[in-house]
Amino acid sequence: MTQYILAIDQGTTSSRALVFDKEGNTKSIAQKEFKQYFPKPGWVEHDANEIWSSQMAVTIEAVSKAKLQADHIAAIGITNQRETTIVWNRKTGEPIYKAIVWQDRRTADYCDQLIKEGWEDKIREKTGLVIDAYFVATKVKWILDNVENARDAAKAGDLIFGTVDSWLIWNLTGGQKHITDFTNASRTLLFNIHTLDWDQELLDLFDIPRSMLPELCDSSGEIAHTSGMLFAKKIPITGVAGDQHAALFGQMCTKEGMVKNTYGTGCFMLMNIGKKPLVSKNRLITTIAWKIGNDVQYALEGSIFISGAVVQWLRDGIGLIKSAKESEKLAKQVEDTDGVYFVPAFTGLGAPYWNQHAKGTMVGISRGTSAAHIVRASLESIAFQTYDVLKAMEADSNITIKELRVDGGATENDFLMQFQSTILGVSIVKSKTMEVTALGAAYLAGLGVGYWKNPQEIMEKWKVDKTYSPEKDSSVPKQLKSWKKAVQTTNYWTNPE
């Protein structure tokens, strides 16, 4: 019987499921969007039960579309939106509050307080992270502090927390397994990347009982089995990784110095830095790339909060375009932005600036500014932000990056990819497979069950779709200088002094 790998890909705006064959080809795909909640400015929430129900629906649909039975599924791999935080009751399985999404800024003032108290260096040293509302611990603390009786219930051992991978595994196993893999754990501000364990000093700092924490598991290997509720038989779950880590693996960046950038809602650039954690001096973060058996790989990461979301805003927020595809056509109608620069800091600025209070800022507008100029400036902002991260990465690693492997929806935009290559001065290599994140989860699951023997076997399946090479453009230095000024303007605008 021919067998396949099922990948569960739970994202920020939609739940997806894909079935892959031995060659890494997509046999079927199902996707379902779910509701985004914005109860206050800077607050972003999801309904955790809707995450689960939408994920279950697309999982069944993907298997059905491929005309498969449970017996055909060799293993399940899970990849998830990271840092989104859920607290639920251990006995009932019910969340006590909506999921607080990674983009949420409600704990920004508390983070500022921690920085003032002098925690920044210690937390960076232990976790590889910066103090920012982006990460998990402050979200858990907020729920315990603001939901009635939550802290008492947590101390009594009745509450548990997890990122989305934990929530999915809890439900897939019928509440039998409360676990998270090392990649997701490394995003919590509670995990020590040197000891590879939860850190008691940080648990005390955030006042989070250890009993709430999930058990740690590898990114690939024997992790759990489905309960039998979803399919007629119990299927092994043998791969788990946060979405950007899965994409790094899916792009086969398995050697030190290899870099990928995913253009999704946000933009996330990761560099494999090998077996030793390197603490960034240029305001990037250090994270676990994956852990497979005794092999732990680390990565440097630059997190850009708004990438594809800026195109969504052009479409849904201000109605300048009717579809994402239209953005490319409009951008090409003008030779340049005519001096317009847009810093899309809708949810603060991520790496390497880490300004939690930044707001979107557009500069250089004149009477002659058209919709085409604004759309072009919006697309260029994605490339400029990527430039800032890449330069920080080169400085930290002491490696000159010559090739950037790319994936995600915005890689369909030829204008953006060519502009990106020219601005960076490096080759942009687009993977043949668009579904790199889900494929990475499938690869991890397949390795965990022996479906593929080793990473070398998988590496042979990685194929290039298109390569963009830098074009000569004498205006690049001036554009980069103007971009820097635009970012400075954004930071100045939100400076409380």
Structural domains in the chain plus CATH codes: 4-243 (3.30.420.40)
Is residue 280 scored above 90 in pLDDT?
A: no
- pLDDT tens by residue, 135-162: 999 999 999 999 999 999 999 999 999 9
Q: Kindly state the tokens that stand for 488.
A: 């400075």
Distance, in Å, from the CA atom of 417 to the CA atom of 414, rounded to the nearest integer, reads 5
DSSP 354: -
- pLDDT tens by residue, 365-409: 999 999 999 999 999 999 999 999 999 999 998 888 889 999 888
- pLDDT tens by residue, 236-267: 999 999 999 999 999 999 988 999 999 888 88
pLDDT of residue 264: 81
pLDDT of residue 245: 96
pLDDT of residue 3: 92
Distance, in Å, from the CA atom of 357 to the CA atom of 279, rounded to the nearest integer, reads 25
Confidence grade of residue 496 (pLDDT, cut at 50, 70, 90):
low
Average pLDDT over residues 452-469: 88
Q: Kindly state the tokens that stand for 5.
A: 């790998």
| 54-58, 222-226, 433-437, 443-447, range with the lowest pLDDT | 433-437
Residue ranges with strand state E in 210-282: 215-217, 220-225, 236-242, 259-263, 267-274
pLDDT of residue 431: 86
Is residue 102 scored above 80 in pLDDT?
A: yes
Is residue 43 scored above 90 in pLDDT?
A: yes
Asked if residues 76 and 444 have their Cβ atoms less than 8 Å apart, the reply is no
155 burial type by CB count under 10 A (0-12 exposed, 13-18 middle, 19+ buried): middle
Average pLDDT over residues 83-87: 96
Average pLDDT over residues 33-56: 94
**How many Cβ atoms sit within 10 Å of the Cβ of residue 245?**
33
**Prior bond to 477 cis, omega within 30?**
no
